[in-house]
Chain A
């Protein structure tokens, strides 16, 4: 075993004086420190400015740990693993963990922020212009990055600055004849097109005043109004318009006596509610088994089809007397080199019944993507076309690593080429490729694009527009989660946790097999 030898050498040498300090050693250590310092110098000031103390502490701890790791001579495996792991944690594991926690909430349309945000949205959303209140001339401006209002009173011509905290007097502003502010010290006045581009922000800004709030009415007028709905902390409810809506912490909504709720809610934990919904909602669980079955067939057929075809051509080309391999390789790699999303759309058009290429070539009149059987065949065919060059490439790569001596030796021992392939080449190939086959399976299990861009789940039976013949779990559930009912991120997250569990289970079983293989061949 390799490491045993190395460890033995190191133990023997440990009593000897330390290894000399080489230039490479010094340079690499200085470089590590310089990079760490540069990252800290860049990343710390915005965090301090934003007051994100937890993030700041995490960043400093991580930097210190990384600097320490590369300054010592110990923890050699970690030195090689950390660079990729940092990215993995930040941009893969953290989003996944975040998604899992989201699965326990009702996060989605109507439940985006916390309760305070919901109250603010309800109150400002219900603002109506108070009778007889003044209409201000409005100019939008920027204070740094923050949007503020410059309000000119039509009678007094007094200029005031309004932000989310309230009104404050503003001196030194230049007002034009139309009542628009032309310039103000320390502020950037937005020109009309710039203001139009920020229309959403402008209509969202509410400046609180003693009697109500000032809100924009268009881009050049602002009016003071009163909120028709007001939150009362005493009863934890919203009153107004002759009704009362009580806060329901279980649903994250303000609900009135009739059971109706206000549109704006807030995010609350719903425990296992989303998961229970997947299992018990008849429209969802009813089709689950059928979709899962087709999903497995699709993923398996894609993996086996691409692997069989890709490996066959790789083996066919892997022969010392093959000529023109360079040309063949380029031809075979071309489907993979073409942008996949574009080719999926092209294939969809080739399957078209009326002017599609396939019917043209075959002289047929088949509604390929309109019938369940042919549609399923079609999407698998497209997927094999897109994926087999990948298998061809990786098999070619793996074949390079198998010494020809092995198959030559097998031939000398009297093995037929088929036997040599079965007993020598294929097992060695599988050592390198099984993990790829597993991840290819996982990729195809959730191959959203392959379905969404070709059939979009269809064809749909007449009695159920919910689920189509080629729907995968991910396209089917995505339609449920993000379809007509609006975005339900919490629910969608719960479904992705389910999908993840299914794929992880299948992969873990397959992985146990690789483990056995590795022990045999490595």
Chain B
């Protein structure tokens, strides 16, 4: 009975979660491809919007897709590693400035980045002059910028998780003569797989839909990410006419994220820590 109630509740929330997506699907397979003609349940079905999108010359969707996925994969992996290092130090070590450091991380994140974008633009204008490989219109420059925010929310998330992992485990390893590096890689990392998976997913999604920085950074049509490129698709007068293509693009954009989620699902689900306590 109780389990049945849980199912009912979750199903209601699922309906709430899914109905706008159903609308997007309906728009994507709507043969007319305009906003005004779209309703919740599709009135017709065709793949014309997808075909138009993938064959379009002015919107190199495949290129944008590749850019987005590669940037998101690389920068979420790198930021995961950086924030895990920091979380390990903050959770397991006591040192001068630890409290201040944690507070500072939280506070710096709160500065409205949107307004700092003016200064970021000026900084990267200089970087572009000196190191074109890391300047505007490059994947690497954008990644550097994203890594600036690697410490922050993710570090807090992982530190919170690490705090709940029993310290006896690394104490035992220390007594056995393990170095801190060995403890980190051999003891801690395997235990924190669930939170690594959650954080990796969050970082991946965050990067995929990041728009503001990318919009400033990537001006060439070829170097754009999906967020920037698709934004241009419905800008101005194209909003109603391109809505079907836009919806199709929205669905395709979601695919890598869902893929990453499915890939990480078993790690998210398995409660490895509980096992560690028993052992």
- In the complex, what residues of A have CB within 8 A of residue B40's CB? 357, 360-361
- In the complex, what residues of A have CB within 8 A of residue B157's CB? 394, 397, 432, 435-436
B201 touches A2 (CB 8 A): no
A339 touches B253 (CB 8 A): yes
* Any B CB within 8 A of the CB of A507: yes
- In the complex, what residues of B have CB within 8 A of residue A92's CB? 108, 148-149
A357 touches B39 (CB 8 A): yes
- In the complex, what residues of B have CB within 8 A of residue A316's CB? 6, 9-10
Chief secondary structure at chain B's binding surface: helix
- In the complex, what residues of B have CB within 8 A of residue A47's CB? 130
Query: B105 to nearest A CB, angstroms?
Result: 8
- In the complex, what residues of A have CB within 8 A of residue B181's CB? 24, 28
| Interface residue from A340, A432, A436 paired with B163 (Cβ < 8 Å) | A432
B6 touches A319 (CB 8 A): yes
| Interface residue from B153, B247, B265 paired with A439 (Cβ < 8 Å) | B153
Chain A minimum-CB-distance residue to B88: A80
Chain A minimum-CB-distance residue to B180: A76
Query: B23 to nearest A CB, angstroms?
Result: 6
B16, B99, B209 — most chain A CB neighbours (10 Å): B209
* Any A CB within 8 A of the CB of B53: no
A76, A339, A390, A448 — most chain B CB neighbours (10 Å): A339
List residues of B (198-232) whose CB comes within 8 Å of A's CBs: 198, 201-202, 205, 208-209, 211-212, 226-227, 230-231
> For the complex, what is the distance from the CA of A430 to the CA of B212, rounded to whole Å?
31
* Any B CB within 8 A of the CB of A331: yes
- In the complex, what residues of B have CB within 8 A of residue A91's CB? 120, 144-145, 147-149
- In the complex, what residues of A have CB within 8 A of residue B131's CB? 42-43, 46
> For the complex, what is the distance from the CA of A511 to the CA of B16, rounded to whole Å?
33
The answer to whether residues A508 and B103 also contact, given A338-B254, A428-B164 and a CB cut-off of 8 A, is: yes
Give the number of chain A interface residues (Cβ < 8 Å). Answer: 116
User: Contacting chain B: which of A30-38, A95-103, A166-174, A247-255?
Assistant: A95-103
| Interface residue from B81, B90, B198 paired with A397 (Cβ < 8 Å) | B198
B254 touches A84 (CB 8 A): no
A328 touches B112 (CB 8 A): no
* Any B CB within 8 A of the CB of A85: yes
> For the complex, what is the distance from the CA of A85 to the CA of B155, rounded to whole Å?
12
* Any B CB within 8 A of the CB of A345: yes
* Any A CB within 8 A of the CB of B21: yes
B195 touches A81 (CB 8 A): no
Per-position 1/0 for B47-82, Cβ under 8 A of A: 000000000000000000000000000000000011
> For the complex, what is the distance from the CA of A325 to the CA of B11, rounded to whole Å?
11
| Interface residue from B23, B82, B89 paired with A346 (Cβ < 8 Å) | B23
The answer to whether residues A337 and B109 also contact, given A2-B92, A50-B129, A385-B20 and a CB cut-off of 8 A, is: no
Query: A39 to nearest B CB, angstroms?
Result: 11
Query: A407 to nearest B CB, angstroms?
Result: 12
- In the complex, what residues of A have CB within 8 A of residue B212's CB? 448-449
Chain B minimum-CB-distance residue to A438: B106
Chain A minimum-CB-distance residue to B35: A349
- In the complex, what residues of A have CB within 8 A of residue B170's CB? 2
- In the complex, what residues of A have CB within 8 A of residue B227's CB? 339, 341-342
B129 touches A84 (CB 8 A): no
B151 touches A88 (CB 8 A): yes
- In the complex, what residues of A have CB within 8 A of residue B190's CB? none
- In the complex, what residues of A have CB within 8 A of residue B115's CB? 99, 474, 478, 492-493, 495-496
* Any A CB within 8 A of the CB of B244: no
Chief secondary structure at chain A's binding surface: helix
List residues of A (72-100) whose CB comes within 8 Å of B's CBs: 76-77, 80-81, 83-85, 87-88, 90-96, 98-99
> For the complex, what is the distance from the CA of A28 to the CA of B179, rounded to whole Å?
13
- In the complex, what residues of B have CB within 8 A of residue A270's CB? none
Query: A131 to nearest B CB, angstroms?
Result: 40
- In the complex, what residues of B have CB within 8 A of residue A119's CB? none
* Any B CB within 8 A of the CB of A284: no
B92 touches A335 (CB 8 A): no
| Interface residue from B18, B20, B89, B116 paired with A343 (Cβ < 8 Å) | B20
- In the complex, what residues of A have CB within 8 A of residue B7's CB? 322, 324
B153 touches A357 (CB 8 A): no
Chain B minimum-CB-distance residue to A337: B257
> For the complex, what is the distance from the CA of A438 to the CA of B179, rounded to whole Å?
35
| Interface residue from A2, A42, A326, A474 paired with B112 (Cβ < 8 Å) | A474
Per-position 1/0 for A182-215, Cβ under 8 A of B: 0000000000000000000000000000000000
B101 touches A81 (CB 8 A): yes
Chain A minimum-CB-distance residue to B23: A357
- In the complex, what residues of A have CB within 8 A of residue B85's CB? 80-81, 83-84
* Any B CB within 8 A of the CB of A414: no
* Any A CB within 8 A of the CB of B165: yes
* Any B CB within 8 A of the CB of A165: no
> For the complex, what is the distance from the CA of A39 to the CA of B207, rounded to whole Å?
26
B148 touches A492 (CB 8 A): no
Chain B minimum-CB-distance residue to A316: B6
Query: B152 to nearest A CB, angstroms?
Result: 7
Per-position 1/0 for B147-187, Cβ under 8 A of A: 11111110111001101110100110011000111001000
B201 touches A393 (CB 8 A): yes
* Any B CB within 8 A of the CB of A262: no
* Any B CB within 8 A of the CB of A347: yes
- In the complex, what residues of A have CB within 8 A of residue B273's CB? 400-401, 403
B171 touches A2 (CB 8 A): yes
List residues of A (391-407) whose CB comes within 8 Å of B's CBs: 393-394, 396-398, 400-405
* Any B CB within 8 A of the CB of A117: no
A446 touches B112 (CB 8 A): yes
> For the complex, what is the distance from the CA of A503 to the CA of B107, rounded to whole Å?
8
B156 touches A436 (CB 8 A): yes
The answer to whether residues A448 and B114 also contact, given A337-B258, A397-B198, A511-B103 and a CB cut-off of 8 A, is: yes
List residues of A (450-494) whose CB comes within 8 Å of B's CBs: 474, 478, 489, 492-493
Q: List 27 A-B contacts (CB under 8 A).
A: A43-B131, A77-B93, A77-B98, A87-B147, A91-B145, A95-B116, A98-B122, A309-B13, A329-B265, A329-B269, A332-B13, A332-B14, A338-B254, A339-B254, A341-B211, A350-B20, A393-B268, A400-B271, A404-B274, A448-B112, A448-B212, A474-B115, A493-B118, A496-B115, A499-B112, A508-B103, A522-B163
| In the complex, the 8 A-B pairs of residues with the closest C-beta atoms, listed nearest first | A91-B148, A432-B160, A496-B115, A80-B89, A84-B82, A397-B198, A337-B257, A2-B167
Not counting A341-B231, A401-B161, A431-B160, a sample of 7 additional A-B residue pairs whose C-beta atoms are within 8 angstroms of each other reads A76-B93, A84-B83, A95-B123, A349-B35, A393-B201, A435-B106, A492-B115
